[in-house]
Amino acid sequence: MKKSWLLLPMLVFLLIGFPAISSAASTAYFVVIWNNGAQSTNPALLKDGTVYASAGMLESAGLKASKSSSRSGTVYTYTGWKKSVTVTTASKTGKLDGQAVSLGGKPFMYKDELYLPARFIVQALGGETVGWNAKTRVYTAKNFQSFSSSSAVYGGITYTVDKQTGKLYAQSPAGQPRLIANLGSELYDMISFDFRKTAKGLIYLTITDVYGEPHINNKWYTLIIKEGIVIRQASVGYWIRYGDNVKLYGDNLILTDGKSLRVIEDGTGKVKETLNLVKLGGIDDKYLVEGIDDDFLLIRPNQKGLLMLIDRKTGAQTLLYKELLDAEQQVYAETNDIPFYGDRLEYIKREGNVLQFKNQAVQDGRIYKYDLLKTQP
């Protein structure tokens, strides 16, 4: 009974969640669980009963940092897709998405890094506090959101993809972002946009995402846009395989998911024909489409990487490396795995019935020719 007076401060400690210490900062840890399941443990500081973490966490969530000076201190601004954070050193208030908020403590610099109250970082990134372990000095939060995006401007319209959700928005200079498509998956790293205007006024947009270590995944999202509306779309991903799929030929547009190919009529967006690439290629894999015309198709399976010529009238298949390369280069095509399996034949153009290729494996400047009439009975 004589020690019952100790219960009150212990209860206060549990309710507050942090121990009271001096103004000097001490070491702590900030464990973050992102909404995609990724987890990281980050150094933190415990100061005046508050856990502080590096503002670099905001940049990890895809926000871009900038700073300026004011009479009250240095102003740090972090902006991203539908997210903005503004804090000022030595001020306990800031702005979150344009609204004034309490930070729960004063930001400060430590080893050339800005530190913010961890609870505020959790709030800013849409997360949830899990708890504080006083024994291990670990502050844990979960469900952190990413606000990373990538944008490009074409025809006066800004196209922005939210990398976390895979949603694509279009915005005119005086308007608000308008959702025009859902790409169907999260995007990760090296994002690029390629716009092509068709002869009949459609926009063929390719969004490429190259990611992984060392960037061995290559995913393409293709969209056909008519008067600001996405009327057709597809996506395909390749592993350790680079190149490009055919987009247009004649008055037709091409969409592929690696397993099938759709021939789209320019202007209307009507599907004129659907080809089964797996059936034509004879291998259950994803295919690159490297050339097409009314009478032939050039496809390459992701894994084996051997370029095939398909006669679109008969379905006959020809492995071009066996027709165009010498014995040594044929062995190379069948056994090489650097940087990827297969031959290095590159389609250049068609002249009459003759298809022209380069061999990038030797880069000898030679033009390799294949006569389409050879495949006809």
pLDDT at 70 over 50: yes
Query: In sequence order, what are the residues at sequence separation of 6 or more whose Cβ sits closer than 8 angstroms to the Cβ of residue 153?
Result: 159
Of 145, 109, 139, whose CA–CA distance to 127 is shortest? 145
CA triplet 128, 65, 72: central angle to 5 degrees?
95
What are the residue ranges spanned by the domains of the chain? 22-64+99-144, 304-377
Of 24, 32, 29, 42, whose CA–CA distance to 137 is shortest? 29
The dihedral through the CA atoms of 120, 123, 124, 128 has a sign that is positive
What are the tens digits of pLDDT across the range 45-56? 999 999 999 999
Burial of 231 (0-12, 13-18, 19+ CB in 10 A): middle
pLDDT at 248 over 90: yes
Q: Specify the pLDDT at position 375.
A: 62
Structure tokens at 107: 């930001």
Overall average pLDDT of the 114-120 stretch: 97
Q: Specify the pLDDT at position 346.
A: 96
Overall average pLDDT of the 241-254 stretch: 94
Say what percent of the chain tops pLDDT 70.
93
pLDDT at 142 over 80: yes
Say what percent of the chain tops pLDDT 90.
85
* Average pLDDT value for the chain: 91
What are the tens digits of pLDDT across the range 186-215? 999 999 999 999 999 999 999 999 998 888
For residues 138 and 189, give the distance between their C-alpha atoms in angstroms, rounded to a whole number.
30
pLDDT at 255 over 60: yes
Q: Do the strands 308-311 and 296-301 form a parallel or antiparallel pair, or are they unpaired? A: antiparallel
pLDDT at 350 over 60: yes
Residue 339: cis peptide before it, omega within 30 degrees of 0: yes
Contacts of residues 229-233 at CB distance under 8 Å and 24 or more positions apart, as own/partner, are: 229/180, 230/168, 230/180, 230/181, 231/269, 232/262, 232/264, 232/269, 232/271, 233/181, 233/183
How far is the CA of 41 from the CAs of 18, 51, 94, 240, 323, in angstroms? 19, 14, 26, 31, 56
H or E segment and range at residue 56? helix 56-60
Q: What is the pTM of this model?
A: 0.83
Contact 118, 112 (CB under 8 A): no
Structure tokens at 93: 């208030």
Q: Which residues pair with 190 in a beta bridge?
A: 210
Q: Specify the pLDDT at position 23.
A: 53
Q: Specify the pLDDT at position 340.
A: 86
Structure tokens at 289: 């489409």
Buried/exposed code over 334-350 (b: 16+ C-beta within 10 A; e: otherwise): eebeeebbbbbbbbeee
